[in-house]
Chains A and B, each alone.
Chain A
């Protein structure tokens, strides 16, 4: 009698996007519906419930979060659970908030581990917070360029800025925070960040605090204020800071000549 070969598991990493029910691609939704198992960490409970209706065989990976654990320990447990599901022969969909490859540590690690073990593992793109920001603030990143840093990373690793380029600073609500505890109000860390930004921008330069709403009936938070007022503002923990350019981009005439570009046709 012919033996049935053991079922080989696989992994697809999915992003829900930011808005409940509206940002997940058709491709991703199809993967979730047809998965043997869905493992998820999402932005709010309604999205989890919505995923559960797409596929009842779902489990939350958020159980691994614990105030007493370092985040890298939590991420390791998530990776272990994803890998175990695939090793057990399940076609697994791991679902994360936003774009599953942006600010998501376990997604990249799970793919690497599974590929090293010879399994099929891939990631599908999702809508990230900066994609929402470009849409809602009418920013075209190709116009003035685009530089982006995580707030704590920006301070710790001596990053530099070009003030003629649009700038996004991620996670300014948790600058310098290494735990998963909630942050209720502005603190001295934000002042440290602003002091650093003031090396590149004037105090009066208008910046925008942005937080994309997860629900289609609630407006996103878009707060415009001078850079100097940032330390006394209440910052939602997942806010993004957008800093428009403070000076015009400079045309390099020598380069234009080398490239045979007629500068009369260039708009700045």
Chain B
């Protein structure tokens, strides 16, 4: 399933040109990537909860030690 916010974050992490564009003009880079005003605001605010809740299916772990087995 397409997800522009997720794809933008991947591009920013793996594509030097996108990184450079973002450094020079974050608003235009996010708009060109098709991000909504709300998504752009989450990134500006560093709102990890909203970002993580809106980038697709959860494949994540509660990465906690199981001390019951210690």
Residues of A with Cβ closer than 8 Å to B?
A: 19-22, 40-46, 48-50, 53, 60, 62, 65, 70-72, 75, 96-98, 103-105, 150, 152-153, 156-157, 170-171, 174, 177-178, 180, 213-219, 236-238
Residues on A with beta carbons closer than 8 Å to the beta carbon of B9: 20, 46, 215, 217
Whether B67 lies near A152 (C-beta < 8 A) is yes
User: With A44-B60, A45-B59 given, is the CB distance from A217 to B65 under 8 Å?
Assistant: no
B62 contacts A180, C-beta separation under 8 Å = yes
Residue of B nearest to A157 (CB): B70
B60 near A46: Cβ-Cβ < 8 Å: no
What are 7 A-B interface contacts by the 8 Å CB criterion?
A: A20-B13, A42-B61, A43-B61, A43-B63, A49-B7, A170-B65, A217-B9
CB proximity of B46 to chain A, nearest CB, Å: 4
- From A105, A217, A218, give the contact of B69 (CB < 8 A): A105
Provide the residues of chain B in CB contact with A174, threshold 8 Å: 62, 64
Whether B61 and A49, one on each chain, are in contact in the complex, defined by CB atoms closer than 8 angstroms, is: no
Whether, in the assembled complex, B56 has its beta carbon less than 8 Å from a beta carbon of chain A, the answer is yes
Interface residues in B1-40 (C-beta closer than 8 Å to A):
3, 6-7, 9-10, 12-14, 19, 22, 26
Residues of B within 8 A of A50 (CB): 10, 13-14
Shortest Cβ gap from B8 to chain A (Å): 9
Do A72 and B6 touch (CB < 8 A)?
no
Determine how close the nearest CB of chain A comes to the CB of B58; give it in whole angstroms: 6
Per the bound structure, the CA–CA distance linking A226 and B32 in Å amounts to 44
Which one of B19, B60, B65, B68 lies within 8 Å of A41 (CB-CB)?
Answer: B60
A22-B13 CB under 8 A given contacts A72-B66, A217-B43: yes
> In the complex, what residue of chain B is closest to A23 when comparing beta carbons?
B13
Known contacts A44-B60, A72-B69, A97-B61; A218 and B10 CB within 8 A of each other: no
Residues of B within 8 A of A43 (CB): 60-61, 63
Contact B48 A214 (CB under 8 A): yes
**Within the complex, what minimum Cβ distance (angstroms) separates B3 from chain A?**
8
Nearest-CB distance from B70 to chain A (Å)? Answer: 7
Interchain CB contact under 8 A, B64 and A45: no
Beta-carbon nearest neighbor of B30 in chain A: A217
Interface centre among A50, A219, A237 (most CB of B within 10 A): A50
A177: chain B residues at CB < 8 Å are 64
Q: A46-B9, A70-B68 are in contact. Are A215 and B51 (CB under 8 A)?
A: yes
Interface centre among B22, B26, B64, B65 (most CB of A within 10 A): B64
Residues of B contacting A98 with CB < 8 Å? 63
Residue contact A153 to B52, C-beta cutoff 8 Å: no
Contact A150/B61 with A20-B13, A49-B56, A50-B14 known, Cβ cut-off 8 Å: no
